[in-house]
Chain A
């Protein structure tokens, strides 16, 4: 009973909120047959919420969705799959230890008398992959293949399981230019076969190169839908951040001044640092009393770079030195001893939820309080000072950390390093998931540390975070530093354009 003339996917007035906060407001979207539809917007603009609704992950929402003209309301991801909607996530869900063919056939291998029919599987996989223009041995082990190829095979699997609409989430973030080119070839083939693709990406050049239509989201609203050949990158960025339209919306829409400090002594020098596929040839200096911001999209190597600076991840090439001494970081305790402090993006991997606040705050400085013996009264006094200075609620140092609110937990994570300030502070996504008040507190604390003469590195995928903290900004793209904003003015659109 499908209506051939009806679009494969149509969305009418979809709204969705989480705990009173609107994530999507009255969104419309039409996906045509044989169309590649680019979806762009900043983090939190509503793209991923909409995709989760389409893929059946969120089943509570207002509004209407039709597939081939038939009204649908998915209760689960399984429902969406059955209706022909497939998704390829940024983090691939391939099984690295199985062969290519097994990955293509995952969950429904051809059987023969109760056994897997290997011959049929290898031949079928080969045929299917060849039809998409993917040239790979179906007997090869998945994990041995390059990421770009693994991604194409996952795409093939999604199509093979019957998907007529494929959602690609940040498909080019980990790919080299030739791999992007090959992906686009395959996508054009899929389009030619009449199937439709939703292409979500921060890489606006890629979106504009492959999409037929581009839809722009901002603050949970669909701002515009245009044909890709009628628009350019500058216009897309302006629409995404809303310059000139809603002046009050973003604080950092307009240019902010940078102030590098070329005369201050270098605290940390990084030269040609590289680690596997994650990042390559990264070099920079951090000076005393300066905040170096490093901005990039999700998956550009920021997370790994941050870990390498703290000895959590081993780098293969290059050097890292503090105060002119080259460090060989074999463990995080080496980094701590060299005066480097680190706050990871996830509180969960930083804090001890079952322990009281004061033990969380003292863990990194116990050796300074007493070489062998613990001195709980000193720990508590120290913790009380931090609790007061950072206005942590409730102001009790014996409270279990797990009973604090998220923002207060983040303050405890920072307080760990405040008693004996280190020389260098590395912050990965310091304001992720925080409300405005908590963000302001973090900005205040970090700037206070900078003014005490610390060198600070802030790595973030949120432009506001980098802009609100940094005195100098590096932009990373696919594992490399591609731009530096050292002096003069910088604004969010300049930053987005560089990445």
Chain B
């Protein structure tokens, strides 16, 4: 009996999000006739794709007990950059620099990598807390976006980006496949590579990692760059998916991506969680957003409900950590 109790307490981080997901599925399935269908399942997956790609990078950062608040701004800037280097229709009044599609994509990727490197240098070399550094980068990203489009809207992006963001293959949206690919790659790196182990160890006990000869600054810098590149890719996909590139297009995605990682059960204190948790978190958010559209509900209330769900997840997240700490000091 106590063994079962200990197991439940240990696995609370994983059980709670999964149970939440099941409850939401059952609830919306019962409350709405249109919710439980194959088409809608595909809808949900498509809706979480852009958030999901950002959340993959963010999972690395949060596992190291850091935060990246610039993900949405970098996504926006990268999405705009790829459009900036693409030939636009004549009615689009932007003094842009049209280049071949491949060059536009490479430049956009270079741009988000560069912004990530600036974050990394600020955090690891200068020593600015990630919370503040990426807050500044959030403004810088917004500034770059504003300067490139100057209040205008661009529509055209390279063909490859359009296909990935808005195309389908065999009835399946490409963007869902791209998300799947990113989730898989993230999982493999975190679980099966040396770098992934270092991410968990740095998050679990940074000082011990340093005393074990792990290059902690390199690991922190790398996760910040990974986060920026994932955001950049998400930005390009998003621009193609929405059909336009403009300022403030990704504003809601910062909170959604953080929420997905944390609701899924990855510890805000680092060292615990992973891509599996992020998948559950993404599904919870996706089902919730989609399901609320399928039931008759005040659309203003939706915002409040999302806030409450996030609060609930945070409480569980912190509570689970304190139970672990208590057990550790109790037995150690």
Contact = CB atoms under 8 A, between A and B. Distances in A.
A332 B194 contact: no
A79 to B, nearest CB: 28
A332 B210 contact: yes
A331 B217 contact: yes
B193 A352 contact: no
B213 A372 contact: no
Contacts of B194: 366-367, 370-374
A409 B205 CA distance: 15
B112 to A, nearest CB: 24
Given A333-B218, A404-B332, 4 more contacts: A355-B200, A374-B193, A374-B196, A402-B328
Nearest to B328: A402
A276 B194 CA distance: 36
B55 to A, nearest CB: 23
A338 to B, nearest CB: 10
A403 B331 contact: yes
**Most B CB atoms within 10 A — which of A366, A370, A409, A416?**
A366
B211 interface: yes
Contacts of B324: 354
Interface stretch (A81-89, A109-117, A342-350, A487-495): A342-350
B332 A366 contact: no
Contact of A351 (B196, B197, B208, B213): B208
Contact of A353 (B195, B205, B209, B217): B205
A332 B213 contact: yes
A344 B211 contact: yes
Given A331-B217, A359-B197, A350 B332 contact: no
A258 B263 CA distance: 61
B201 A352 contact: yes
Contact of A350 (B196, B211, B272): B211
A352 B202 CA distance: 10
A310 B207 CA distance: 13
A353 B271 contact: no
Q: Is the interface of B mostly helix, strand, loop or mixed?
A: helix
B212 A363 contact: yes
B295 to A, nearest CB: 40
Interface of B: 192-198, 200-201, 204-205, 207-218, 271-272, 324, 327-328, 331-332
Interface of A: 310, 312, 331-333, 335-337, 341-344, 348-355, 359, 363-364, 366-367, 370-374, 402-404, 406, 409, 416
Given A367-B194, A373-B193, A404-B332, A333 B215 contact: yes
Nearest to B205: A352
A70 to B, nearest CB: 39
Contact of B331 (A331, A374, A402): A402
A310 B195 CA distance: 22
Contacts of A363: 197, 201, 209, 212, 214
Nearest to A338: B213
Contacts of A337: 213
A355 B205 CA distance: 10
A352 B332 CA distance: 12
A494 B332 CA distance: 38
Contact of B213 (A333, A354, A403): A333
Given A374-B197, A403-B332, A350 B192 contact: no
Nearest to A370: B194
Given A352-B205, A354-B272, A372-B194, A364 B212 contact: yes
B204 A352 contact: yes
Q: Is the interface of A mostly helix, strand, loop or mixed?
A: mixed
B212 A354 contact: no
A240 B197 CA distance: 50
Contacts of B331: 402-403
B332 A332 contact: no
Contacts of B196: 374
Given A349-B208, A350-B212, A363-B212, A355 B193 contact: no
B161 to A, nearest CB: 30
**Most A CB atoms within 10 A — which of B196, B198, B211, B272?**
B211
A374 B190 CA distance: 10
A377 to B, nearest CB: 13
Contacts of B272: 354
A370 B16 CA distance: 35
Nearest to A404: B332
**Most A CB atoms within 10 A — which of B211, B213, B272?**
B213
Contacts of A312: 210-211
Contact of A349 (B200, B211, B215): B211
**Most B CB atoms within 10 A — which of A331, A335, A354?**
A354
Contact of B204 (A343, A354, A367, A374): A354
A351 B195 CA distance: 18
B201 A354 contact: no
Nearest to A416: B212
A336 B213 contact: yes
**Most A CB atoms within 10 A — which of B196, B200, B212, B215?**
B212
25 contacts: A312-B210, A331-B210, A332-B210, A332-B213, A332-B216, A333-B214, A333-B218, A335-B213, A344-B211, A349-B208, A350-B211, A351-B208, A352-B208, A354-B204, A355-B200, A355-B201, A355-B204, A359-B197, A363-B209, A366-B194, A367-B194, A372-B193, A373-B192, A373-B194, A402-B331
Contacts of A374: 192-194, 196-197
A348 B327 CA distance: 16
A404 B210 CA distance: 22
Nearest to A307: B211
A353 to B, nearest CB: 5
A238 to B, nearest CB: 39
Closest CB pairs A-B (n = 10): A336-B213, A333-B215, A402-B328, A349-B207, A363-B212, A364-B212, A402-B332, A352-B204, A366-B194, A403-B331
Nearest to A422: B213
A390 B196 CA distance: 29
Nearest to B267: A354
A366 B201 CA distance: 12
A416 to B, nearest CB: 6
A38 to B, nearest CB: 37
Nearest to B332: A402
